[in-house]
Structure 1
């Protein structure tokens, strides 16, 4: 896809054998961006900004909400804890398609907004369970020492647990960003205005609009994948250790 995005459109599907330095061109990128230059088609920058805002809110809000929920399930003792944990596991198994229609009717008044694109996904069962399994494996001695020194649950969580849980936070950041950035089904159901249309929805529209230019489609795909690769490169130091720790401790 990367090679195809830099080839002339007539050679975009030729494969590696047709790639040579003399074939390099940025015309696919400029041509693709030029097709989004009006309010009717929308602007590529708007699509990018929408996906970025939605993904950052889902990731940022999710790290706060899901880590606190995971900590409450792993460390605090309260009535109904086991029932909530069982519900989290059930939600992991349950496909999104099973709850998409009820969510549609609940949030239909928020159609064509940023909020409807991130609100249902901040609380994430998989993220909660990853945090839960990670926190369950942490030694309790430091928390007990903090409690003796007078620290409450909030202070203990912020000053002791969060710094120790960097691998879990990195893992959840990558997985959540990837899921949010590539979300397609929910935007199809709730978004039809170009001004708030995310990238995954727009690339499906772009592929179906003539002229069918594979070089420009590849260029769109490269720009869409770039942020995911960037996030992974930033957090890869902790990603593998976080997945391994959560799996073993779970």
Structure 2
């Protein structure tokens, strides 16, 4: 009886959380008039009535959606790949190597979690506008000033992440130190231990950090709005404001929202088990 009630409660939660997503997907195939006509009944979440791909075709006619998608994929993939490398190496140094002041450094890193991004967004804009960068002009490298309106300004400021470092740190401390000692007896250095011993055993942590890094990179809106002016460099989230200017079409909005939501859902479903396993391991260890 208790098990059936628990399963019923879980099913109800699934329905509650899935309802907006189902409504969005179904509405993306309906014209605006039918979307509003179906709101008062269950037809709003049922694939009935006049269904077509007109809204999706309208999205690509109204905005350069394919360019926005390519930009977001590029920015997110690079951020995830470099973020895993940088944060895991930092966590390895804090968890496996012994050096003076490492606990103070770890405490300082964790303390940054309480600082919201909005508090340092404007100072960060000022700094990235002053930082140098090497650009290729013809066959010569030239040093320029300012990162605004570039791809790297949307990636580099967010590579080091305190929560990712903490997750890796917690997971690395659960791996027996004896493996390091055995590897060192075989002549392995610290980088070899990191690459050949620790990282191959950290699949769940890597998957979790990948998800938690991908989500804010894909959903980034405020930062690109502040530092990117060129339409060719904008990510998908900035593109949604195009639909609220003239002639608002809710069907196209639902279609665009579906296009930018599905990749996130696919990523989470693909790494769901590893994500849950890593969070559980970090919670038990912590």
The alignment's TM-score, normalised by the length of structure 1, stands at 0.93
Structure 1: distance between partners of 2:160 and 2:109: 10
Q: Structure 2: which 5+ runs fail to align?
A: 1-23, 130-145
5 Å-filtered alignment, 1:55-74, equals 55-74=76-95
Return structure 1 stretches of 4+ with deviation > 4 angstroms.
none
Instruction: Tell me the secondary structure at the aligned position of residue 282 of structure 2.
Output: helix
Structure 2: distance between partners of 1:112 and 1:124: 23
1:31 equivalent in alignment to 2:64: no
Structure 2: distance between partners of 1:174 and 1:220: 22
1:235 equivalent in alignment to 2:271: yes
| Aligned-residue CA RMSD (Å) | 1.3
Q: Which has the higher contact order (CA 8 A, sep 6+)?
A: 1
Q: CA deviation at 1:22?
A: 4.0
- Find the counterpart in structure 2 of residue 8 from structure 1: 31
5 Å-filtered alignment, 1:56-205, equals 56-108=77-129, 109-203=146-240, 205=241
- Find the counterpart in structure 2 of residue 17 from structure 1: 43
Which deviations, in whole Å up to 9, do the C-alpha atoms of 1:91-141 show, x marking residues without a partner? 111111122122110112211110110110011111011101111122112
Structure 2: distance between partners of 1:225 and 1:20: 19
Instruction: Tell me the secondary structure at the aligned position of residue 100 of structure 1.
Output: helix
- Find the counterpart in structure 1 of residue 245 from structure 2: 209
CA contact 1:9–1:28 (8 Å) conserved in 2: no
- Find the counterpart in structure 2 of residue 247 from structure 1: 283
The alignment's TM-score, normalised by the length of structure 2, stands at 0.82
Which deviations, in whole Å up to 9, do the C-alpha atoms of 1:26-48 show, x marking residues without a partner? 11100111112xxxxxx211111
Structure with greater Cα Rg: 2
CA contact 2:128–2:153 (8 Å) conserved in 1: yes
Change (3 A) 1:215 1:86: same
Q: CA deviation at 1:20?
A: 4.1
Which deviations, in whole Å up to 9, do the C-alpha atoms of 1:179-208 show, x marking residues without a partner? 1100111111111211111111111x2232
Structure 1: distance between partners of 2:112 and 2:94: 15
CA contact 2:28–2:251 (8 Å) conserved in 1: yes
Which deviations, in whole Å up to 9, do the C-alpha atoms of 1:62-112 show, x marking residues without a partner? 000000101111111123312211221111111111221221101122111
Structure 2: distance between partners of 1:132 and 1:164: 13
